[in-house]
Amino acid sequence: MRLEALFNYPLKGCRANPIQVAELDSLGIRGDRRFMAVNHRGQFVNGKTFPKLVLVNCQVEDEQSVIFSAPNMPELKVDLTGDDGRVDVRVWRSDVNAKSLGEKANSWISDFLGGDFRLCFYDQNSHRQVNSLPEYPVSFSDSAPVLVASRQSLEALNAYTGRVDKIEQFRPNIVIDADSAFAEETWQRIRIGDVELLAVKACARCPVINTDVEFAQPDPNQEPLRSLTKLHRRVSDGKVIFGQYFVVTRPGQVARGDKIEVLQSMQAQEYQPLPDEEQGKYTITFEPMTQSAIAAVNDTILEVAENAGIALSSSCRGGSCGACRVKLISGDVEVGADYALTEQQIEQGYILACSCFARSDVVISLED
């Protein structure tokens, strides 16, 4: 098995930078996911909320400065050694104190995304830990510093869908020419070149993978996520997975063509195909009007409401603004994101309709 491709994504959600040789330290590939866009409340935004982030090109120069470019935008160069203050930001459930990139950078990203946003930098004074392995740091990556996927996993998915989705849609750092599809989920510890990696968890997928990386267009049929759900679905918590997250236990250099050694294997998690479409359909009843609609497995509660002509407010459609908050009265839902809710709201039964899926017949109250 060989290392086939390497990518970094200096700005969370930005275009993939292909690289030939990479230095890995405890934060993963040097420069990867060190920058992040946040809204006015410090909540991160990503490609799920703003698909056009994938059109942003981000290049770090000698760790002294960073250059952002994007269609119809002037190039922006930011000096990383300047003092633009600090900002408290939130990525998923982690609070991070990051370096601000300053007003010029904030205006640039606000103009590009259309709204009130800021750009921040995970510098040497920032701290965030991998949830399940707190002795390991992680910057603005979703779960852990290094995401590994095999070309064979993508080929298996493409063979199933008959589409030609690209590996960059799945945002891996390391792509491996492996022995078989989904083999990466059985690797507990691996060595590549000088570097050793320890598995943390499989990568749970969201609609980001449905966005075409050239034009930033989300697929109207929600592919390939919809098909991945049928092909390869994790049983224990209902998440759809693709690729494996790792921490770096031995830093060093890796290069395209390096041999992959599996130092320790593990049992892949158990999978089972989804029930057929009919079995996977549930009834959602919206109160107080007692109007019901049918939800397929992969439909968010917001989509079900909209398809049924029920007015429900929404804005980001990615779990970060809280506009689509509704109350779950009965039934089971799978929660994709709830980080716009307070602990108290979660305890009270509030959910975000844009990020929840029915997993039984459910009753939803639209009254706040």
The order of strands in the sheet holding 195-204 is: 17-19, 2-8, 174-177, 146-150, 241-250, 195-204, 187-192, 260-265
Smallest gap from residue 255 Cβ to ligand FES (A): 41
**Residue 352 is a binding residue for ligand FES (CB under 6 A):** yes
Member of 10, 193, 322, 336 binding ligand FES (CB under 6 A): 322
Q: What is the residue type of 210?
A: N
Distance between CA atoms of residues 54 and 212, nearest Å: 9
Environment class of 106 (CB within 10 Å of its CB; exposed 0-12, middle 13-18, buried 19+): buried
Contact 125, 111 (CB under 8 A): no
Figure out which of the listed residues 321, 326, 333, 356 binds ligand FES, where binding follows CB under 6 A.
Answer: 321
Residue 43 or residue 173: which is nearer to ligand FES going by CB? 43
Q: Could you tell me whether strands 86-91 and 94-100 are parallel, antiparallel, or unpaired per DSSP bridges?
A: antiparallel
Rg of the Cα atoms in the chain: 21
Options 163-171, 265-273, 312-320, 327-335: segment touching ligand FES (CB under 6 A): 312-320
Which residues, at least 6 apart from 275, have a Cβ–Cβ distance to it below 8 Å?
297
Among 31, 47, 145, 319, binds ligand FES (CB under 6 A): 319
Tell me the site size for ligand FES, rule CB under 6 A.
13
Q: Is 345 in the site for ligand FES (CB under 6 A)?
A: no
Nearer to ligand FES, 195 or 326 (CB): 326
Q: What's the N-to-C CA distance of the chain in angstroms?
A: 54
Task: Find the shortest distance in angstroms from Cβ 211 to ligand FES.
Answer: 17
The Cα–Cα gap between 171 and 10 comes to 12
d(CA 304, CA 318): 16
Q: Which is nearer to ligand FES, 47 or 172 (CB)?
A: 47
Choose which of 191, 205, 230, 317 interacts with ligand FES (CB under 6 A).
317
Stretch that binds ligand FES, among 7-15, 26-34, 95-103, 322-330 (CB under 6 A): 322-330
| Minimal distance, residue 359 CB to ligand FES, in Å | 18
- Asked whether position 316 contacts ligand FES by CB under 6 A, the answer is yes
Binding piece for ligand FES, criterion CB under 6 A, among 190-198, 215-223, 260-268, 317-325: 317-325
Residues facing residue 93 across a β-bridge: none
Among 208, 269, 192, which Cα is nearest to 28's? Answer: 192
Pull the structure tokens for residue 249: 């236990």
Under the binding rule (CB under 6 A), the answer on residue 133 touching ligand FES is: no
Site membership for ligand FES, residue 51 (CB under 6 A): no
Residue 324 binding ligand FES, by CB under 6 A? yes
Judged by CB under 6 A, does residue 301 bind ligand FES?
no
Binding-site member from 36, 354, 364, 366 for ligand FES (CB under 6 A): 354
Note whether 99 binds ligand FES by CB under 6 A: no
Beta carbons of 99 and 120 less than 8 angstroms apart? yes
> Shortest gap between Cβ of 181 and ligand FES (angstroms)?
33
314 belongs to the binding site for ligand FES (CB under 6 A): yes
Residue-by-residue DSSP string for 15-48: --EEESEEEEETTEETTTT-EEEEETTSBEE-TT
Given the complex with ligand FES, which of 258 and 338 has the nearer CB atom? 338
Please return the burial class of 289, using the count of CB atoms within 10 Å of its CB with bins 0-12, 13-18 and 19+. Answer: exposed
**How far, in Å, CA of 311 to CA of 366, rounded?**
9
Which residue in the set 73, 133, 323, 335 belongs to the binding site for ligand FES (CB under 6 A)? Answer: 323
Q: Which stretch binds ligand FES (CB under 6 A): 5-13, 151-159, 205-213, 315-323?
A: 315-323
User: What residue ranges bind ligand FES (CB under 6 A)?
Assistant: 314-317, 319-324, 340, 352, 354
